[in-house]
A = this chain, B = another copy of it.
Amino acid sequence: MAINVAVIGCGYWGPNLIRNFYENPEVEVSYVCDLMPEKLAKLARRYPTIKLTNSYDEVLKDSKVNAVVIVTPVFTHFKLAKEALLAGKHVLVEKPMCSTSAECHELVALAEEKGLTLMVDHTFVYHGAVRKIKSEIDKGDFGDVVYFDSTRINLGLHQNDVNVVWDLAPHDLATMDYLINSNPVSVHATGASHIGNGIEDIAYLSLTLENGVIAHLNVSWLSPVKIRRILIGGTRKMVVYDDLDPAEKIKIYDKGIKSEEPQTSEGRHERLIQYRIGDMRAPVFDMTEALKAEVEHFVDCIKNKTTPVTDGRAGLRVVKILEAANLSLKTGQPQSLEVAAGKSK
């Protein structure tokens, strides 16, 4: 039987989720809900069979609806998701999961209590390229990962309610959370606001993870060029994931460095450093649209009562880092992160 889905919010990102749920053969999209009638109107032509409404109540009261997909501004996520869970609906919520980690905690607990699927739209985790990198890391092909360095910059879109850290960094933090099985212990963030509203449009985050990996994120709404690039350095191999490269998004470099302190009985005590520079390989990977895979995963998790890869705990882990980063931005000081007792996976 088809999963009956309602999508809440049809602004910038919503239509992509609507399209992917609409085309999933195991799903029936029954509602799209938005407060702005002009946004709904645009959908009428394309999806004549979907009910368009501005009443969230109507959606929640409809017992045919199995799952609610929340694609609204961040500050509304908690309230909408909580109501949906209380109404017995499974929930997929846009990233970042909530405005505070306390809210995330509450949703995680509520979903567990109700036995409902709670999943966060960490889209990149479902991207074939990221999955390919994950499988190479897990095979041990890279050796130990030692750094994670991402750049996600372009011009706009400036948000009115969240800064660039909350807008863009979740993509990289969720990707890192998925690829590297370790939590940050400290975060330092710097940034600046340039349009007079006090909302940072450029920011830099430096993190240290429990396992010693250092991570750095460069996020900006004020760059003339668009860059979407992650470098991951391992002790054996290094990878560049350039999401904008039309042909070779993943490049794996057989490059490394070896250092030894020679046992000279006498003379200069010089460290010998050797570079290994081998071939580069650009592997093929599954080209399925990430959102399509994500929608399939959500449906599977509901059907089989399994835990999503990007469950509420993953959403919580990301929001904790965002909170700490925001505090660091405000105080100018590095922030420790209480280390989570464990990851859900």
Instruction: Say whether chain A's binding surface is mostly helix, strand, loop, or mixed.
Output: strand
Q: Which 7 A-B pairs have the closest CB atoms?
A: A224-B253, A195-B259, A224-B238, A190-B206, A280-B282, A192-B214, A158-B273
Check A332 for interface membership: any CB of B closer than 8 A: yes
| Minimum CB distance partner of A45 in chain B | B23
Query: Chain A: residues with CB nearer than 8 A to chain B?
Result: 22-23, 25, 45-46, 48-49, 146-147, 149, 151, 153, 155-156, 158, 160, 186, 188, 190-192, 194-197, 202, 204, 206, 208, 212, 214, 216, 218, 220, 222-226, 231, 233, 238-240, 244, 246-248, 251, 253, 255, 257, 259, 261, 270-271, 273, 275, 277-284, 332-334
Can you list 21 A-B contacts (CB < 8 A)?
A22-B45, A147-B192, A147-B194, A149-B202, A149-B223, A153-B231, A156-B257, A156-B273, A158-B259, A190-B208, A194-B257, A195-B259, A197-B271, A223-B238, A224-B239, A224-B240, A244-B246, A246-B246, A248-B280, A281-B282, A282-B282
| Minimum CB distance partner of A276 in chain B | B155
Given the complex, which residues of B lie within 8 Å of A239, measured CB to CB?
224
Residues A255 and B216 in contact in the complex (CB < 8 Å), given A280-B282, A281-B281, A333-B334: no
Assembled-state Cα–Cα distance A23/B151 (Å): 36
Given the complex, which residues of B lie within 8 Å of A190, measured CB to CB?
188, 206, 208, 214, 216
Assess the B279–A282 pair: CB atoms within 8 A: yes
Given the complex, which residues of B lie within 8 Å of A244, measured CB to CB?
246
Assembled-state Cα–Cα distance A220/B240 (Å): 14
Assembled-state Cα–Cα distance A248/B283 (Å): 15
Given the complex, which residues of B lie within 8 Å of A248, measured CB to CB?
280
Assess the B160–A270 pair: CB atoms within 8 A: yes
| Minimum CB distance partner of A212 in chain B | B192
Given the complex, which residues of B lie within 8 Å of A279, measured CB to CB?
281-284
Assess the B281–A160 pair: CB atoms within 8 A: no
Given the complex, which residues of B lie within 8 Å of A246, measured CB to CB?
226, 244, 246
Given the complex, which residues of B lie within 8 Å of A257, measured CB to CB?
155-156, 158, 194-195, 222
Residues A277 and B284 in contact in the complex (CB < 8 Å), given A225-B231, A259-B196: yes
